[in-house]
Amino acid sequence: MKNFKFETIKNHKNSRLGKVITAHGEIETPVFMPVGTAATVKALTVEDIKKSNSQIILANTYHLMLRPGEKIIEKLGGVRNFMNWSGPLLTDSGGFQVMSLGKLRTINEDGVIFKSQLDGKKFNLTPEKSIQIQHALGSTITMCFDECIEWPSTFEDTRKSMELSMRWATRSIEAYQERSGYAIFGIIQGGAFKELRENSSKFLHDLNFPGYAIGGLAVGEGRDVMFETLDYTVPLIDKTKPRYLMGVGKPEDIIGAVKRGIDMFDCVLPTRSGRNGQGFTSRGEVNIKNSRHSSDPRPLDDSCDCETCINYSRAYLHHLFKANEILGLILLSNHNINFYQNMMKEIRNAIKLDNFDNFSEKFLLKRSNGDLQEITF
């Protein structure tokens, strides 16, 4: 699509350093997108997100259509203006959230009928409606509407779901209104079935989307199955287009997916974990609520230069969580987002220096050894 493009700068085996050019700025890849579901990254200000060197954030069609509604956001200049974010914005189509409603929703050829969990109001979300809402939200990158099938599912159920998603993908791209520097991505489905992933990839390739996502993973299938699925799916995607693995994930998942050629990631894990007392560090995860931190003067991660690690001790963070102080959630969420963005920066630099294999091996080994200092403190 006009003035939206992906450029590969450097390859290291299957991993690649790249750049996505959009109407709202350039995105260096591989990239991690903090999740701002309701036009806010939980517990953090936009200024915090900017300081973490985040390049693009994600918001959600389903939640924003329910509250405050796309019409209000459109009148206020779109999500970016609404939340004071100047960079690129990607919006999920709402398919995953609709799946999680279970018995509260009915799927048919036209779309999904469901009741709002907020007030019981009935909605009919179709591919055309999802694309229209994302247009009103001002999404830099719009996602086509798809069905996210539960894990595990049979081959036949997965086939039917994938084929429905492909029909919806056709309707999505037909409903999409082109704007310079904006784009719509297709979503490859098919569960853990190679034949279905191949069929989905070919179908979407023929529609010529400017970018492609791999959906239906990180839903309980396990890391080995996810990596195996990526091994045979990624080579099917046009090398000139960005590749986005939806809803992933843990640092080890991201490292493994970059090794297989993925460019874009998103996940709620950094902020959700931060709100629950879990900090991501170069030595693995730390449960700051554990009593061993009650008098520990060290920073959460001595190799991190975020404001949390520079200014506050583990003992203080422990105290905040034990006292149920909101500041604890803020400081730990802020650290986690910075940890992820620092990791992505190191990944990009390692690919640039043709050193990604060595970097990833050391990174994973250090994390697998755990926080040894903590154990002996």
Residue 263 falls in the annotated catalytic set: no
Q: Tell whether the model's pLDDT for residue 372 goes beyond 90.
A: no
pLDDT digit string (tens) for 4-51? 999 999 999 999 999 999 999 999 999 999 999 999 999 999 999 999
Q: How far apart are CA 370 and CA 162, in angstroms?
A: 40
Quick one: pLDDT band at residue 1, thresholds 50, 70, 90?
A: confident
Domain boundary among 226, 246, 267: 267
Asked if residue 285 and residue 252 are part of one domain, the reply reads no
Quick one: pLDDT band at residue 156, thresholds 50, 70, 90?
A: very high
Per DSSP, 35 falls in state B
pLDDT for 377: 38
pLDDT for 370: 85
Please indicate whether residue 95 or residue 237 has the higher confidence score (pLDDT): 237
**Contact at 8 Å (CB) between 331 and 317?**
yes
pLDDT for 99: 67
- The pTM for the full model equals 0.96
Q: Tell whether the model's pLDDT for residue 360 goes beyond 50.
A: yes
Q: Are strands 25-29 and 15-22 parallel, antiparallel or unpaired?
A: antiparallel
Percentage of the chain exceeding pLDDT 70: 97
pLDDT digit string (tens) for 215-254? 999 999 999 999 999 999 999 999 999 999 999 999 999 9
Q: How far apart are CA 296 and CA 311, in angstroms?
A: 14
Mean of pLDDT values over 285-314? 97
Asked if residue 300 and residue 252 are part of one domain, the reply reads no
Asked if residue 187 and residue 288 are part of one domain, the reply reads no
Asked if residue 249 and residue 288 are part of one domain, the reply reads no
Quick one: pLDDT band at residue 66, thresholds 50, 70, 90?
A: very high
Give the angle 143-180-174 at the CA atoms, nearest 5°: 45
Question: Could you tell me the residue range of the domain that residue 330 belongs to?
Answer: 274-376
Domain boundary among 267, 300, 327: 267
Asked if residue 302 and residue 261 are part of one domain, the reply reads no
Asked if residue 170 and residue 252 are part of one domain, the reply reads yes
Residue of 48, 146, 263, 266 marked active site: 266
Output the CA torsion 334→340→342→348 (10° steps).
-150
> How many domains would you assign to the chain?
2
- Closest C-alpha to 237, from 4, 32, 14: 14
Q: Three-class SS of residue 159?
A: helix
Asked if residue 263 and residue 295 are part of one domain, the reply reads no
Please indicate whether residue 153 or residue 375 has the higher confidence score (pLDDT): 153
Residue 357 falls in the annotated catalytic set: no
Q: How far apart are CA 341 and CA 4, in angstroms?
A: 23
Neighbours of 109 (CB within 10 A): 8
Instruction: Calculate the alpha carbon distances from 227 to 88, 147, 191, 231, 260 in Å.
Output: 28, 22, 12, 6, 8
Quick one: pLDDT band at residue 102, thresholds 50, 70, 90?
A: low
Residue of 92, 253, 296, 371 marked active site: 92
C-alpha count within 13 angstroms, C-beta hemisphere, residue 177: 12
Sign of CA dihedral 155, 153, 61, 227: negative
Residues 6+ apart with CB under 8 A from 337: 34, 41, 44, 48, 49, 52, 54, 270, 271, 274
Mean pLDDT of the residues in the chain: 95
Asked if residue 176 and residue 71 are part of one domain, the reply reads yes
pLDDT digit string (tens) for 303-324? 999 999 999 999 999 999 999 9
Asked if residue 285 and residue 205 are part of one domain, the reply reads no
C-alpha 170 chain-centroid distance: 23
Burial zone of 117 (CB within 10 Å; 0-12 exposed, 13-18 middle, 19+ buried): exposed
The CATH number of residue 254's host domain is 3.20.20.105
pLDDT for 376: 40
Domain boundary among 267, 288, 313: 267
Asked if residue 258 and residue 132 are part of one domain, the reply reads yes
Q: How many helices (H) and strands (E) does the chain have?
A: 16, 16
Q: What is the C-alpha end-to-end distance of the chain, expressed in Å?
A: 56
**Contact at 8 Å (CB) between 300 and 292?**
no
Asked if residue 175 and residue 133 are part of one domain, the reply reads yes
Q: How far apart are CA 243 and CA 215, in angstroms?
A: 11
Paired with 284 in beta bridges are: 281
pLDDT for 57: 98
Question: Helices marked H in 52-193 — which ranges?
Answer: 61-66, 70-75, 78-83, 95-99, 127-137, 155-175
**Which tokens is 164 given?**
């429905």
Asked if residue 172 and residue 29 are part of one domain, the reply reads yes
